[in-house]
Amino acid sequence: MPSTLLQTDQRYMREALSLARQSPVLPYPNPWVGCVIVRNGKVVGRGFHHGAGTPHAEIEALRQAGARARNATLYVNLEPCCHFGRTPPCTDRILQSGIRRVVYAIRDPNPAVEGRGATILKKRGLEVASGVCAAEAAALNEVYLKFRATGLPFVTAKVATSLDGKIATRTGVSKWITDQTARRRARQIRRKHQAVLVGVNTILADDPHLGLRPPGPVEPWRIVLDSRLRIPLRAQVLKSGRCIVATTDSLSSYKAKQLKRIGARVWRFPGRRIPIKRLLKKLARAGIFSVMVEGGSEVLGSFYDLRLIDRIYWFLAPMIIGSEQSRPAFKGRGVSRLEPAARLRNFRIEPVGNGWMIRGNMSRWALDQADNENTL
Ligand SMILES: NC(=O)c1ccc[n+]([C@@H]2O[C@H](COP(=O)([O-])OP(=O)(O)OC[C@H]3O[C@@H](n4cnc5c(N)ncnc54)[C@H](OP(=O)(O)O)[C@@H]3O)[C@@H](O)[C@H]2O)c1
């Protein structure tokens, strides 16, 4: 491809990407998509996806362009769909509109599309190019791409420790290791997730609310790992009306009934402990595609051992707690050699309040560049 054409394509694809980022709500399970239609060097249509069930970005841009779409180029950050979902196929509308060239960034891994969208357009004589700004486009849709490939939600871990890596003293006190600014920042990150997950010991020790402050239009789900249903009926998380208690099927159902009566959902799993991967799959099937794990150390250890953390936010306070009986950030099995230890990629360290925040990627699904504030 001539370099001037590539540069032009990149310019308009970046515009499509920034439109995609404008989506006012988390459009899960739909991807973030933006579209720009260009004719004779002039943008004649723009669109982005407003959420499940609403017209796709391409349709919005085509409507805006109207007759000016004839012989124009359409830029979109994800391959156009070719199936009937909640809305009709975009490929049909593109073909009807007279668009001559379609440029997309990445292939849609949705089994209903997977390259077929592009094939249909090519077969009908349109010029189709792909791969433009592919890295940026994949980063923008890391949650969607992970879910499509694995059936799992995107998992972010948040830890707040002293300099010696402790999340609580030997008596279990953790309020407060980090300062208000750090805690506010952590709540902003929570705002971007559909669910917050903790172990029952954290509920027993701190009775956290785990909601948004100020309250958001959509509060996150609270997920509690609690094999023996030790959660007190008066726990703050239960007052949210959006609490899922994951437990095992080995116990009498009396407490489960009480929990359900006060509005909690109780999910039972076989075994003595909660099988985390199964729980995550069930969460994704229930429409929860991003989960923030907020501790404590046993739960973080379980997620780490299974290599289920995609991204980590580590708040570090200028404080030393000491003692081998105080709680480390991660329990679990850990690693015996250093080679398999997870190392952060694309990490960034920034001062937050009187401490620091380290943010880094831990799985191949976490794709963003460290300076991209738009992803989780
Ligand atoms: N500084 C921070 O950022 C921070 C954040 C959170 C908590 N904390 C502190 O951490 C302490 C609590 O941490 P913790 O390590 O004792 O407990 P935890 O991780 O909060 O909860 C662990 C419990 O969850 C249940 N569980 C069920 N399935 C599990 C699974 N697959 N993996 C792991 N746990 C599972 C188990 O109890 P059952 O067997 O009864 O189900 C387990 O004992 C508190 O002192 C709290 O203040 C600090």
Question: What SS3 string covers 48-91?
Answer: ECCCCCCCCHHHHHHHHHHHHHCCCEEEEEECCCCCCCCCCCHH
Q: Which amino acid is residue 309, in one-letter code?
A: I
Nearest CA-CA partner of 249 in 275, 231, 280? 275
Inter-residue contact 196 to 190 (CB < 8 Å): yes
**Which residues does 183 contact at the CB level (< 8 Å), separation at least 6?**
160, 176
First to last CA, the chain: 34
> Can you give the pLDDT at residue 278?
98
- Residue of 164, 298, 325, 330 best suited for mutating to test ligand 1, as the one with most atoms within 8 Å of CB: 298
Inter-residue contact 314 to 185 (CB < 8 Å): no
Dihedral sign for Cα 355, 331, 287, 47, please.
positive
> Can you give the pLDDT at residue 26?
59
**pLDDT per 10-residue tile (average), the chain, 376 residues:** 82 96 71 95 93 85 96 96 81 94 94 89 95 94 93 97 97 94 96 95 96 88 97 96 93 88 96 96 95 96 98 98 97 96 95 97 84 55
| Residues marked as catalytic | 58
**Which residues does 62 contact at the CB level (< 8 Å), separation at least 6?**
37, 45, 47, 69, 74, 93, 94, 97, 99
**How far is CA 153 from each of CA 145, 176, 276, 312, rounded to the nearest angstrom?**
10, 29, 12, 15
Nearest CA-CA partner of 203 in 179, 222, 181? 222
Ligand 1: nearest atom to the Cα of 177? 1
Nearest CA-CA partner of 59 in 70, 72, 74? 74
- Residue of 159, 198, 201 best suited for mutating to test ligand 1, as the one with most atoms within 8 Å of CB: 201
> Can you give the pLDDT at residue 250?
72
> Can you give the pLDDT at residue 369?
64
SS3 category, 14: helix
Nearest CA-CA partner of 164 in 360, 318, 41? 318
SS3 category, 206: helix
> Can you give the pLDDT at residue 24?
65
**Backbone phi, psi, residue 86, to 5°:** -80, -15
What separation in Å is there between the alpha carbon of 300 and the centre of ligand 1? Answer: 8
* pTM assigned to the model: 0.91
> Can you give the pLDDT at residue 214?
86
> Can you give the pLDDT at residue 375?
57
> Can you give the pLDDT at residue 322?
97
Name the residue at shortest CA distance from atom 48 of ligand 1. 167
For residues 81 and 87, give the distance between their C-alpha atoms in angstroms, rounded to a whole number: 10
Ligand 1 is surrounded, with C-beta below 6 A, by 159-160, 167-168, 172, 174, 177, 198-202, 205-206, 225-228, 230, 273-274, 276, 294-299, 302, 327, 331
What is the number of alpha carbons within 13 Å of residue 11 lying toward its C-beta?
Answer: 11
> Can you give the pLDDT at residue 49?
86
Cβ atoms within 10 Å of 156's Cβ, excluding its own: 25
